[in-house]
């Protein structure tokens, strides 16, 4: 391969786009993935994330724009001439070749004769040394997945592309493989670009996540940043759950903006608001359900001052072990969600009970009210099985 | 499919080529022509040796002349009228025999296809092999074997005679006295035998696709086994019935081997006439006209079928 | 009474099995006759009636003049026709399975029609063509005709296999540094090979066994089916049954061995 400089593994997409007839799969997109990072493209099916990945691999031709690896423009290179390898969805292992030959495939195509040592080392890395002479269908899903990774990594690509690499595995195995992939990435230090629709997968593995929707990147950043401070309703709803309250900017108090929603006044740190906050401006006030505490209305006097409060009546509860999820019917938000840890549960918190939901204003975020308040809800709700059926 | 339409097979230099100017597309004209290059030899072959002969045949059918003086296109459509009126019995006999054989194939083939699809268990593979295996022996040899089976005074004819079946069939005019050979019954019997696998295999394919749980569901919903068959199995196997019928009827209607080996001059079918006209009498216009009529009849059937299922299902 | 009812019930339950097995018997009876009569010792010219046991024909299968020559001609034609039809058919199948192009419907129809046309019609029209072109009937005209009618069957078999192949496999090969030619040789061809083999086998069987079209295009060349046809008029030697029985046995053994290997492989994997 090329002499490795620090930036040779950078992937830079400039104004890249892809249209099929009148359908635009990817709108012009600028994206830089720094060398050595674990980058995730997260989105629902049909959002353009796989098309973006395939354009980097060379399997799809961009309608416009360029793909650069380090300083090299590879836009016109066919896939077999790009120093980029892919772990395909459902692996695409060659059924007629055994595991050894699957892993050796890339080396042999580049004319390397003595592949034995390298292949054996690579199989050890993914803990499949014993299976070298088996055929792909004789392996379990998790083992096949590791072969797919080994087959790509053995070529020391500048960038490894992973297209829903864990989609076909069951939940437990997926967890295990997430850690495994993360370990391998740290070990080999190659740039990983990972496409997934599973927000949990993206957040546990990636340093940087780009949330895509309808052919555009909605927001890009470290997972915690995306979760704690979403900039659009799509990100707020697609990544986890958010309570969004329509409110109107009223006044300011220090670094906080004070907003009125019905009878409530809510405080919001100005730095955490992506919408204009002039008085009278409309803002969607967001708060994650697990940041909220519930107190029975009878005890509301005991709530410390300075916290945001919303009053309402419990409409439904569901006990899910680690927490209890409450749906509170509030005048400012019809289905206000609250997740409470199951410690010191107040037995009076049952459907019908009048409650006050309150939280530290520092956790509040503000979004532009011009957006669709429900964006991303449906996409996040698509169960994986249904999505695979669609694919 | 978009993924595979590209990949122009350009010569691959050892060193990576210089990157193209941004936004400039690599040439794809060669990739776009690939399907046509792939198609060219096969399609050319079929055009020259399948379609062109049909055109020649059509032109021959409207020629007049003689073998000695040569033929000329004179748009003599009367040949069709003459051929049709002269060989009308053979035409209608072809339809009748092929139709009876097709019906018999359906009647005999359906239980076997059903047996393989639902009741055979671990014998399924073996029975399928046994259905296909006769293909490996020359069909002429197997057809000749029917001469032995249906021989005069043989056990089959003897049994039919004892059971007075032959009295009935003779009264119906499909056998003659105590003979089965050289009668319509023998010809239909041979046709049925020869084309039975063409009925069984498509039937089996469509039956095999039916989810066995549908039978249980029908039973659960108060359907008797017979009702289940009539309301669930049969409708779902209709594609197999349709293609099996076509695959049986078409070759049977043009066949002349069974009528020749197992029949008599009274059981000649249109295939026999075409064969004799072409190979013995050398009356090419009449033979071409007959062949063209047969083709037209088949084409009408096939196009009705295409209208039902579209061209993609054909191949 | 109850015995009778239960008997009727069991009969009804297994009626379909009984009917199916009867059909199977109907299908296999001629093969039994062919085999049994390969050991016949006929008195006259025709081998239609059982006279007595004799293995003479098995000892001397080529003892009838022309029989083994016709077999050789048939094998030659079948081999070349298989090669031609498989190459042309495979190319056509790839074009149909992989590309969108204009006149797709027309191409599909052109491939379907030979399979839907009575052989007598194709045979008669081909003869018209050859007569008009003044071609000499014989080996080459038979070969041309056989490639023509085998082609469509190869297309069907190969196309099904190509369509069932995961397109990602080829993408994976290209991603792993295989150029277009290497991708075809190392991935596409090995994976579609069973379909191509099935098509080739079918083409061989069809060509080897064809009589109707060969009869029109053969001139004075005698293939094995032509030989059988001729002997049906002049007298059927026992050797014909020997050849038929041997072919049947070889084919069945071939298939059984194939399934046995496949079964063992499946068991090993389990």
| Cβ-Cβ contacts under 8 Å, A56 against chain C | none
Domains and CATH numbers, chain B: 42-76 (no CATH), 86-309 (1.10.3720.10)
In a domain, A233, yes or no: no
Do A211 and A244 belong to one domain? no
In a domain, A27, yes or no: yes
Tell me the C-alpha distance between B54 and C127, whole Å. Answer: 10
Over range A270-299, report the average pLDDT: 88
**pLDDT value at residue A383:** 43
pLDDT-based confidence at residue A277 (cuts at 50, 70, 90): confident
pLDDT-based confidence at residue B299 (cuts at 50, 70, 90): confident
Do A193 and A255 belong to one domain? no
- Distance, in angstroms, between B68 CA and closest chain C CA? 14
Do A61 and A145 belong to one domain? yes
Structural domain boundaries, residue A339:
240-390
pLDDT-based confidence at residue A38 (cuts at 50, 70, 90): very high
pLDDT in tens, B173-232: 888 888 889 999 999 999 999 999 999 999 999 998 888 788 888 878 888 878 888 888
The percent of residues above 70 in pLDDT, for chain B, comes to: 87
Helices (H), chain A: 49-57, 99-109, 116-125, 141-153, 171-188, 199-205, 223-228, 233-238, 377-381, 384-390
Query: Considering chain A, what is the average pLDDT of its residues?
Result: 88
**pLDDT value at residue A150:** 92
In a domain, A234, yes or no: no
Tell whether B6 lies on the interface with C, counting CB pairs under 8 A: no
Is A362 strand, coil or helix?
helix
| Distance, CA of A3 to chain centre | 32
Q: Does A256 score more than 50 pLDDT?
A: yes
Q: Which of A193-207, A318-332, C1-15 has the lowest mean pLDDT?
A: C1-15
Residue C170: which of B4, B34, B56 has the nearest Cβ? B4
CATH number at residue A110: 3.40.50.300
> Which of the residue ranges A182-191, B197-206, C10-19 has the most confident prediction, judged by mean pLDDT?
B197-206
Q: Does B67 score more than 80 pLDDT?
A: no
Tell whether A63 lies on the interface with B, counting CB pairs under 8 A: no
How many domains does the structure of chain A reveal? 2
**pLDDT value at residue C1:** 53
C262 or C94, higher pLDDT: C94
Query: Considering chain B, what is the average pLDDT of its residues?
Result: 83
In a domain, A1, yes or no: no
**pLDDT value at residue A227:** 93
Q: Does B258 score more than 90 pLDDT?
A: yes
**pLDDT value at residue B31:** 62
In a domain, A2, yes or no: no
Over range C165-174, report the average pLDDT: 93
Over range C92-115, report the average pLDDT: 90
Residues 6 or more apart whose CB falls under 8 angstroms from that of A216 comprise: A27, A29, A48
In a domain, A3, yes or no: no
- Cβ distance A61 to B22 less than 8 Å, yes or no, reads no
ipTM of the complex: 0.89
Residue B130: which of C16, C24, C88 has the nearest Cβ? C24
Do A53 and A172 belong to one domain? yes
Identify the CA nearest to A161 among candidates A152, A171, A170. Answer: A152
Over range C202-225, report the average pLDDT: 94
Do A36 and A102 belong to one domain? yes
**pLDDT value at residue B14:** 36
Phi, psi of C118 (to 5 degrees): -60, 140
Residues 6 or more apart whose CB falls under 8 angstroms from that of C188 comprise: C165, C170
Q: Does B307 score more than 80 pLDDT?
A: no
In a domain, A6, yes or no: no
Q: Which helix (H) or strand (E) holds A17?
A: strand A11-20
B65 or B157, higher pLDDT: B157
Do A219 and A303 belong to one domain? no
| Distance, CA of C260 to chain centre | 21
Residues 6 or more apart whose CB falls under 8 angstroms from that of A28 comprise: A15, A16, A17, A64, A65
Tokens encoding A370? 């011009």
Q: C19, C118, C159, C171: best mutation site toward chain B, by most B Cβ within 10 Å? A: C118
Helix, strand, coil proportions of chain C in percent (round to 5)? 80, 0, 20
**pLDDT value at residue B12:** 35
Q: Does B1 score more than 70 pLDDT?
A: no
What CA–CA distances, in Å, run from A215 to A59, A236, C19?
18, 18, 61
Do A164 and A17 belong to one domain? yes
CATH number at residue A291: 2.40.50.100
| Cβ-Cβ contacts under 8 Å, C251 against chain B | 133, 136
The percent of residues above 70 in pLDDT, for chain A, comes to: 95
Do A213 and A277 belong to one domain? no
pLDDT in tens, B69-80: 778 888 888 889
pLDDT in tens, B5-45: 333 333 333 333 333 333 333 334 446 788 899 999 999 99
Q: Among all residues of chain B, which has the CA nearest to that of A74?
A: B19
Q: Among all residues of chain B, which has the CA nearest to that of C74?
A: B138
Q: A86, A148, A162: best mutation site toward chain C, by most C Cβ within 10 Å? A: A86
Tell whether C235 lies on the interface with B, counting CB pairs under 8 A: no
- Distance, in angstroms, between A89 CA and closest chain C CA? 9
pLDDT in tens, A78-118: 999 999 999 998 899 999 999 999 999 999 999 998 899 99
C267 or C195, higher pLDDT: C195
Q: What is the DSSP string of C210-266?
A: --HHHHHH-TT---HHHHHHHHHHH---HHHHHHHHHHHHHHHHHHHHHHHHHHHHH
Q: Which of A228, A258, A288 lies at the terminal end of a domain, its last residue? A: A228
Give the count of alpha carbons within 13 A of C85, CB side only.
Answer: 35
pLDDT-based confidence at residue C235 (cuts at 50, 70, 90): confident
Tell me the C-alpha distance between B24 and C65, whole Å. Answer: 72
Do A204 and A300 belong to one domain? no
Over range A267-276, report the average pLDDT: 86
Q: Which of A196, A228, A260 lies at the terminal end of a domain, its last residue? A: A228
Tokens encoding B247? 């695959």
Query: Considering chain C, what is the average pLDDT of its residues?
Result: 90
DSSP state for residue A47 in the 8-state scheme:
S
Is C188 strand, coil or helix?
helix
- Cβ distance C108 to B312 less than 8 Å, yes or no, reads yes
In a domain, A282, yes or no: yes
CA angle C53/C59/C64 to nearest 5° reads 95
Do A259 and A376 belong to one domain? yes
**pLDDT value at residue B314:** 53
Helix, strand, coil proportions of chain A in percent (round to 5)? 30, 35, 35
Q: Which of A300-314, B290-304, C192-206 has the lowest mean pLDDT?
A: B290-304
- Distance, in angstroms, between B26 CA and closest chain A CA? 6
Looking at the DSSP bridge assignments, the partners of residue A326 are: A317, A338
Q: Which helix (H) or strand (E) holds C145?
A: helix C139-163
What CA–CA distances, in Å, run from C146 to B48, B110, C74, C207?
14, 32, 11, 6
**pLDDT value at residue A57:** 93
**pLDDT value at residue A6:** 62
**pLDDT value at residue C119:** 92
- Cβ distance A76 to B7 less than 8 Å, yes or no, reads no
Q: Which of A207, A228, A249 lies at the terminal end of a domain, its last residue? A: A228
Do A257 and A363 belong to one domain? yes
Cβ A213 vs Cβ A43: under 8 Å = yes
Cβ A178 vs Cβ A166: under 8 Å = yes
Do A124 and A18 belong to one domain? yes
Tell me the C-alpha distance between A282 and B161, whole Å. Answer: 100
Cβ C263 vs Cβ C78: under 8 Å = no
**pLDDT value at residue B190:** 95
Q: What is the DSSP string of C67-93?
A: HHHHHHHHHHHHHHHHHHHHHHHHHHH
**pLDDT value at residue B217:** 85
* Residue A158: Cβ-neighbour burial (10 angstroms; 0-12, 13-18, 19+): buried
């Amino acid at each position: 391969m090329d002499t490795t400089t620090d930036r040779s593994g950078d992937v830079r997409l400039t104004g890249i786009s892809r249209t099929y007839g009148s359908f635009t799969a990817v709108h012009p997109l600028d994206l830089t993935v720094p060398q050595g990072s674990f980058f995730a493209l997260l989105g629902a099916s049909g959002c353009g994330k796989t098309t973006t990945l395939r354009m980097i691999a060379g399997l799809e031709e961009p309608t416009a724009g360029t793909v650069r690896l380090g300083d090299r423009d590879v836009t016109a290179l066919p896939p077999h001439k790009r120093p980029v390898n892919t772990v395909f969805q459902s692996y695409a292992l060659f059924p007629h070749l055994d595991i050894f030959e699957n892993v050796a495939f890339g080396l042999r195509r580049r004319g390397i004769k003595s592949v034995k040592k390298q292949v054996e080392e690579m199989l050890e890395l993914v803990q499949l040394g014993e299976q070298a002479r088996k055929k792909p269908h004789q392996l379990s899903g998790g083992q096949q997945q590791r072969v797919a990774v080994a087959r790509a990594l053995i070529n020391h690509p500048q960038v490894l592309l992973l297209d829903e690499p864990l989609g076909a595995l069951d939940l437990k195995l997926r967890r295990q493989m997430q850690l495994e992939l993360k370990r391998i990435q740290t070990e080999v230090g190659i740039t990983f670009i990972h496409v997934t629709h599973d927000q949990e997968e993206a957040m546990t593995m990636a340093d940087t996540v780009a949330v895509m929707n309808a052919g555009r990147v909605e927001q890009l950043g470290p997972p915690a940043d995306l979760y704690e401070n979403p900039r659009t309703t799509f990100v707020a709803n697609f990544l986890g759950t958010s309570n969004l309250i329509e409110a109107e900017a009223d006044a300011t108090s220090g670094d906080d903006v004070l907003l009125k929603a019905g009878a409530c006044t809510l405080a919001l740190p100005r730095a955490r608001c992506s919408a204009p906050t002039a008085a009278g401006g409309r803002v969607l006030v967001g708060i994650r359900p697990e940041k909220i505490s519930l107190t029975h209305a009878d005890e509301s006097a005991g709530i410390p001052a300075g916290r945001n409060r919303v009053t309402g009546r419990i409409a439904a509860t569901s006990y899910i072990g680690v927490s209890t999820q409450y749906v509170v019917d509030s005048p400012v938000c019809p289905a206000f969600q609250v997740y409470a840890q199951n410690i010191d549960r107040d037995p009076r918190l049952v459907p019908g009970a009048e409650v006050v939901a309150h939280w530290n204003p520092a956790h509040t975020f503000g979004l532009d009210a011009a957006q669709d308040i429900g964006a991303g809800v449906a996409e996040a709700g698509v169960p994986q099985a249904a999505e695979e059926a669609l694919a | 499919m978009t993924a595979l339409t590209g990949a122009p097979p350009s010569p691959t230099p050892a060193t990576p080529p210089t990157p193209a100017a941004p936004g400039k597309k690599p040439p794809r004209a060669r990739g776009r022509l690939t399907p046509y290059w792939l198609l060219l030899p096969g399609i050319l072959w079929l055009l020259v040796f399948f379609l062109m002969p049909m055109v020649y045949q059509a032109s021959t059918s409207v020629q007049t002349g003689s073998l000695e003086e040569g033929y000329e296109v004179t748009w003599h459509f009367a040949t069709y009228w003459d051929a049709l009126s002269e060989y009308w019995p053979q035409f209608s006999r072809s339809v009748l025999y092929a139709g009876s054989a097709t019906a018999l194939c359906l009647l005999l083939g359906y239980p076997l296809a059903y047996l393989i699809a639902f009741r055979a268990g671990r014998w399924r593979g073996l029975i399928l092999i046994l259905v296909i295996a006769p293909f490996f022996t020359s069909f002429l040899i197997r057809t000749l074997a029917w001469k032995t089976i249906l021989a005069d005074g043989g056990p089959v004819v003897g049994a039919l005679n004892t059971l007075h079946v032959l009295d009935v069939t003779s009264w119906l005019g499909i056998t003659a006295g105590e003979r089965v050979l050289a009668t319509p019954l023998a010809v239909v019997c041979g046709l049925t035998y020869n084309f039975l696998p063409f009925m069984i295999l498509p039937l089996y394919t469509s039956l095999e696709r039916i989810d066995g749980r549908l039978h249980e569901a029908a039973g659960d919903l108060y359907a008797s086994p017979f009702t289940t068959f009539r309301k669930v199995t049969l409708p779902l196997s209709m594609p197999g019935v349709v293609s099996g019928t076509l695959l049986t009827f078409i070759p049977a209607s043009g066949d002349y081997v069974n009528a020749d080996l197992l029949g008599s001059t009274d059981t000649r079918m249109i295939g026999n006439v075409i064969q004799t006209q072409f190979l013995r009498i050398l009356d090419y216009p009449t033979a071409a006209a007959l062949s063209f009529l047969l083709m037209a009849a088949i084409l009408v059937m096939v196009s009705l079928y295409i209208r039902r299922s579209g061209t993609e299902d054909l191949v | 009474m109850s015995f009778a009812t239960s008997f009727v019930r069991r009969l009804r339950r297994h009626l379909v099995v009984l009917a199916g097995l009867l059909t199977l018997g109907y299908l296999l009876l001629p093969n039994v006759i062919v085999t049994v009569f390969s050991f016949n010792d006929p008195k006259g010219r025709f081998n239609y009636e059982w006279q007595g046991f004799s293995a003479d024909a098995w000892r001397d299968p080529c003892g009838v003049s022309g029989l083994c020559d016709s077999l050789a001609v048939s094998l030659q034609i079948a081999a070349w026709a298989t090669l031609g039809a498989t190459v042309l058919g495979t190319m056509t199948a790839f074009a149909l399975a992989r590309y969108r192009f204009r006149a797709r419907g027309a191409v599909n129809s052109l491939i379907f029609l030979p399979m839907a046309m009575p052989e007598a019609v194709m045979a008669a029209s081909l003869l018209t063509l050859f007569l008009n072109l003044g071609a000499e009937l014989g080996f080459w005209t038979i070969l041309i005709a056989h490639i023509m009618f085998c082609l469509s069957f190869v297309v069907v078999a190969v196309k099904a296999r190509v369509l069932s192949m995961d397109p990602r496999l080829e993408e994976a090969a290209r991603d792993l540094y295989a150029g277009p030619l290497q991708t075809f040789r190392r991935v596409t061809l090995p994976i579609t090979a069973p379909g191509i083999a099935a098509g080739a086998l079918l083409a061989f069987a069809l060509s080897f066994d064809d009589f109707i079209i060969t009869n029109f295009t053969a001139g004075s060349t005698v293939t094995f089916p032509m030989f059988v046809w001729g002997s049906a008029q002049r007298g059927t030697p026992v050797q014909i049954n020997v050849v038929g029985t041997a072919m049947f046995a070889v084919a069945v053994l071939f298939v059984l061995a194939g399934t046995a290997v496949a079964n063992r492989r499946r068991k090993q994997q389990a």
